Amino acid sequence: MSILTDISENLQRGKAKIVKELVQQAIDEGIPANQILEEGLLGGMNVVGEKFKANEIFVPEVLVAARAMNMGTTLLKPLLAQSGVKATGKVCIGTVKGDLHDIGKNLVRMMMEGKGLEVVDLGVDVSPEQFIDAAKNQGCQIICCSALLTTTMGVMSEVVEAAKTAGIRESVKIMVGGAPVTEAFCQQVGADCYTADAASAAEAAVKLLA
Ligand code: B1M
């Protein structure tokens, strides 16, 4: 069994300590960090998602898998974040109100930090008002919204409207992403930028700030 399959299977079983050890071993063997992330960790998390959907596993199992995923990504962080480009700029990021999924949001934060951006992490369950407060009071040039639920992605539209009401829409860019979000949805709610994955989000943020 390849080490990446091993990482995927142990993540599915929620074996956080073993996942951490295997990720370190994979790094030591010279496997590129993005391959460990995509084929090992995210590969495992996709299987977890499918089983969750099919009611073969439930919230507690998904939570332990998520914990294992976070242990693995913590080790990958310095490697994923390595980048020659140093940008300057400040963004705030959060998972929208009603939504507690934070693994994708954390990856986006990590990639943006790797591009030299200062990132204010507002956490999960973030209201439109909290996004606007951060942009206004902490001088963030970009608001980044993540959503994983079809029931919460609509909050992104409220963020855009709240920025207009607060009179900051012209001075702040709004980026959206997360599994159910699409380019069409981004345009529909009047946000500035949609990207499908964390690495593209970081690249897009740098371009928006240029
Ligand atoms: Co949840 N969950 N969950 N869950 N969960 C999903 C999302 C689901 C698709 C599972 C399924 O049914 N197959 C489903 C949503 C269905 C829908 O809305 N259509 C679902 C559900 C229903 C629920 C609950 C309602 C279940 C319940 O309680 N009955 C509940 C909701 C709780 C809440 O939020 N209020 C719930 C709870 C949970 C846990 C707490 C158990 C746990 C979250 C733990 C945590 O995050 N700390 C959890 C998990 C782990 C999942 C799955 C299995 C994995 C999500 C994940 O982390 N993926 C998920 C199924 C799946 O996605 N396969 C599922 C890995 C992550 C890296 O991907 O976040 O998509 P993702 O990020 C990607 C891109 O989307 C992008 O970058 C990343 C990759 O590079 N991206 C951005 C993300 N944000 C971005 C922002 C950007 C740009 C790109 O710009 C700003």
Q: Using an 8 Å Cβ cutoff, are 66 and 92 in contact? A: no
The mean-pLDDT minimum among 25-29, 38-42, 161-165, 182-186 falls in 38-42
Q: Which residue has the higher pLDDT, 24 or 42?
A: 24
Q: Using an 8 Å Cβ cutoff, are 148 and 180 in contact? A: yes
Average pLDDT over residues 196-209: 92
The span from the CA of 130 to the CA of 125, in Å, is 10
DSSP bridge partners of 96: 126
pLDDT greater than 80 at residue 201: yes
Amino acid at 134: A
CA-proximal residue: ligand 1, atom 49 (nearest) = 62
Ligand 1 pocket residue status of 62, Cβ below 6 Å: yes
Instruction: Tell me the pLDDT band of 114, cut-offs 50, 70 and 90.
Output: confident
Q: Using an 8 Å Cβ cutoff, are 27 and 79 in contact? A: yes
The Å distance, Cα 84 to ligand 1 centre, comes to 31
Instruction: Tell me the pLDDT band of 82, cut-offs 50, 70 and 90.
Output: low
pLDDT greater than 80 at residue 146: yes
Comparing C-alpha atoms, which of 11, 120, 26 is closest to residue 63? 11
pLDDT value at position 136? 97
Average pLDDT over residues 10-15: 96
The Å distance, Cα 66 to ligand 1 centre, comes to 10
Buried b (16+ CB within 10 A) or exposed e, 44-59: bbeebeebeeeeebee
Task: Give the atom of ligand 1 at the shortest distance from the alpha carbon of 175.
Answer: 91
Ligand 1 pocket residue status of 100, Cβ below 6 Å: yes
Average pLDDT over residues 88-114: 92
The span from the CA of 109 to the CA of 92, in Å, is 9
pLDDT tens digits for 148-174? Answer: 999 999 999 999 999 999 999 999 999
